[in-house]
Amino acid sequence: MHFPDDLQYTRDHEWLDQEGRVGITAFAQDSLGDVVFVELPEVGATVNAGDAIGVIESVKSVSDLFSPASGRVSQVNESLLDKPELINQDPYGEGWIFRLDDAVAGEVLSREEYEKEVEGK
Amino acid sequence: MRETPLTSWHRQQRAKMMEFGGFLMPIEYGSGIIQEHAAVRQKVGAFDVSHMGEFLVWGENGGAFLDYLVTNQPSALEVGQALYTPMCYPDGGTIDDLLIYRLEPHRFMLVVNASNIEKDWQWVREVATHYPDVELRDMSEEMGLIAVQGPLAPSLVQQLVDFNLSDLVYYHARHMLWGTSRVLVSRTGYTGEDGFELYADNEVLLAIWEKVLELGAQPVGLGARDTLRLEARLPLYGHELSQEITPLEAGLGPFVKLNKDDFVGKAALVNQKAQGLKRRTVGLTVEGGIARAGYPVVAVPAGPQIGQITSGTKSPTLDHAIALALVNVELAKIGTPLYVQVRGREIPATVVKTPFYRRPAQS
């Protein structure tokens, strides 16, 4: 399973990049299975790190999406409304979920720390 | 947690495993539920459903006993025929839904849901005390079950059996020999496709499973089994049926023979029918979200609850959200607009005809 070096990770299995983009990890998409519906946060919303601000539904399950950082939602990935499967196919690329301006990360892990976290799970 | 004779095979394949009905079962294999679902609709899939329970019933009065035990009429079965039936409490609430096979003139097999094996066994034994010549045996621990489902199932299973499969019509079953072991080959299933269920001793189950896969079936987990049965509007105990839901409310009237002699639940069900049903199971299509089991249903935004979702998913075949809901009967007409409460929002739904999916007629 692939975890890029240049991202920060949370224990809830989100990633955050240096431009404030957020998505879920390869581990998360694999555990969920086929993603069939995504509820995106609202553009303009102010969020705190750890807030549940969206929902990801797979065929079998409903999971909250937590923000890894505080900031203001500046963009959401509207392609996911028609193609939620992008989260499975390309979790760090086309499957990004939203973007924060002035992101201030909450409690985040490095790639090494996150890998340890999901090891053996 | 209980295992099936195939559990270590599933583990070796790195299937996602989950508890279901007290058993550790495969939910999906590598390719995901949507692909597995499509494999069954378009080709052929194989399911380990060994968690299901099997009871044998035999004796001169076996048919009369079963006619009293369940709502359908097993005594009317021919040898080699099967039926689907609810089994009710005296108040009409549903204990379980099951298949009953007539294996010999005075020998029947009941197939029950995994999560209900203990409860059903106790109940069946209790009712049987009024039928002293009827004998019972719980075969669940010794018997495994593989379902082979999909349009290519007949040509696949034909290569396993020593008789002509075109002689085995829907809801009929026949024994074949696997080595020295007898296997019951049944033309039944829980997917809405043509297909077979193979009841076999635990000892030979892995060999049959491997042969079925070698002949081209794809292993399919319980995740796709659930989406397949929902598209075909087949009830799942604990969702569409429960101790609080009668088979009439669940739309299973054709499997309740109110005109036969007395049976457990008859008075309550006759009465419910005479009074008129107050609620009924309907099919819904849902817009802008996925309605899941337990979500409230309302007739108007912010209105009082008039029902609830019993099962719901995004239909892989139709590519939109579908659900079954138990709603007040005055809101059960085809075309009725309703709303489902999803995390504080209300999303529109419409009562539609079911099944959501019907397999194309055979050419």
CATH of residue A107: 2.40.50.100
In the numeric block, which tokens belong to residue B110? 């009941």
Pairing of strands B143-149, B218-219: unpaired
Give the whole-angstrom CA distance, residue B191 versus residue B308: 24
Question: Mean of the pLDDT values across residues B344-358?
Answer: 97
Domains of chain B: 7-50+141-231 (3.30.1360.120), 54-138 (3.30.70.1400), 278-352 (2.40.30.110)
pLDDT the model gives residue B361: 83
Q: Average pLDDT of chain B?
A: 97
CA A81 to chain centre: 15
CA distances for A81 relative to A38, B44, B80, B308, angstroms: 6, 31, 50, 26
- In A, which residues are within 8 Å of B313 by CB distance? 59
Shortest alpha-carbon distance between residue A34 and chain B (Å): 6
pLDDT bucket at A121, cuts 50 / 70 / 90: confident
**What is the dihedral sign for C-alpha A58, A61, A65, A66?**
negative
Instruction: Please give the backbone phi and psi of residue A78, each rounded to the nearest 5 degrees, phi first.
Output: -70, -15
Give the whole-angstrom CA distance, residue B51 versus residue B140: 8
Q: What is the pLDDT of residues B295-335, one digit of tens each?
A: 999 999 999 999 999 999 999 999 999 999 999 999 999 99
**What is the dihedral sign for C-alpha B328, B332, B338, B343?**
positive
Q: Would residue A48 count as lying in a domain?
A: yes
What is the DSSP code (8-state) at residue B242? B
pTM (two decimals)? 0.96
In the numeric block, which tokens belong to residue A50? 């750890």
pLDDT the model gives residue A120: 76
Q: Would residue A70 count as lying in a domain?
A: yes
CA distances for B47 relative to B41, B168, B220, B308, angstroms: 14, 20, 5, 30
Give the whole-angstrom CA distance, residue B176 versus residue B162: 7
pLDDT bucket at A84, cuts 50 / 70 / 90: very high
Q: Are B74 and B85 in contact (CB under 8 A)?
A: yes
Q: What is the pLDDT of residues B84-135, one digit of tens each?
A: 999 999 999 999 999 999 999 999 999 999 999 999 999 999 999 999 999 9
Q: Are B284 and B305 in contact (CB under 8 A)?
A: no
Q: What is the pLDDT of residues B142-191, one digit of tens each?
A: 999 999 999 999 999 999 999 999 999 999 999 999 999 999 999 999 99
Which of B236, B292, B314 best probes binding to A when mutated, by most A CB atoms within 10 angstroms?
A: B314
CA A43 to chain centre: 16
**Residues spanned by the domain of A65:** 8-114
Question: Can you tell me which residue has the tokens 């839904």?
Answer: B97
**In the predicted structure, residue B258 carries a pLDDT above the cut 90:** yes
Q: Would residue A64 count as lying in a domain?
A: yes
From the list B34, B227, B289, the residue facing A37 with the nearest CB is: B289
**In the predicted structure, residue B363 carries a pLDDT above the cut 90:** no
Q: Would residue A119 count as lying in a domain?
A: no
Inter-chain touch A37–B290, beta carbons under 8 Å: yes
CB pairs under 8 A between A and B: 36
From the list B28, B290, B343, the residue facing A36 with the nearest CB is: B290
Question: Can you tell me which residue has the tokens 């539904």?
Answer: A57
- Residue B304, burial from CB neighbour count under 10 angstroms (0-12, 13-18, 19+): exposed
Q: Would residue A87 count as lying in a domain?
A: yes
- In B, which residues are within 8 Å of A53 by CB distance? none
Q: Would residue A121 count as lying in a domain?
A: no
pLDDT the model gives residue B78: 98
Q: Would residue A28 count as lying in a domain?
A: yes
Which of A30, A60, A85 best probes binding to B when mutated, by most B CB atoms within 10 angstroms?
A: A60
Q: Which residues are registered as beta bridge partners of B208?
A: none
Give the whole-angstrom CA distance, residue B283 versus residue B281: 7
Which of B33, B230, B295, B341 best probes binding to A when mutated, by most A CB atoms within 10 angstroms?
A: B33
How many domains in chain A? 1
Burial A100-114 (b: 16+ CB within 10 A, else e): beebebbebbeeeeb
Q: Comparing C-alpha atoms, which of B285, B324, B290 is closest to residue B307?
A: B324
- In A, which residues are within 8 Å of B290 by CB distance? 36-37, 57, 62
From the list A55, A59, A88, the residue facing B313 with the nearest CB is: A59
Q: Does A1 touch chain B (CB under 8 A)?
A: no
**Torsion angle of C-alpha atoms A22, A27, A31, A35, degrees rounded to 10:** 40
Question: Mean of the pLDDT values across residues B253-278?
Answer: 98
Restricting to A residues 21-80, those with a Cβ less than 8 Å away from any Cβ of B are 33-34, 36-37, 39, 55, 57-60, 62
Inter-chain touch A60–B292, beta carbons under 8 Å: no
Q: What is the pLDDT of residues A12-65, one digit of tens each?
A: 999 999 999 999 999 999 999 999 999 999 999 999 999 999 999 999 999 999
- Residue A44, burial from CB neighbour count under 10 angstroms (0-12, 13-18, 19+): exposed
In the numeric block, which tokens belong to residue A53? 């601000």
pLDDT the model gives residue B140: 97
Q: Are B172 and B79 in contact (CB under 8 A)?
A: no
**Torsion angle of C-alpha atoms B2, B8, B14, B16, degrees rounded to 10:** -10
Give the whole-angstrom CA distance, residue B38 versus residue B360: 14
Q: Would residue A3 count as lying in a domain?
A: no
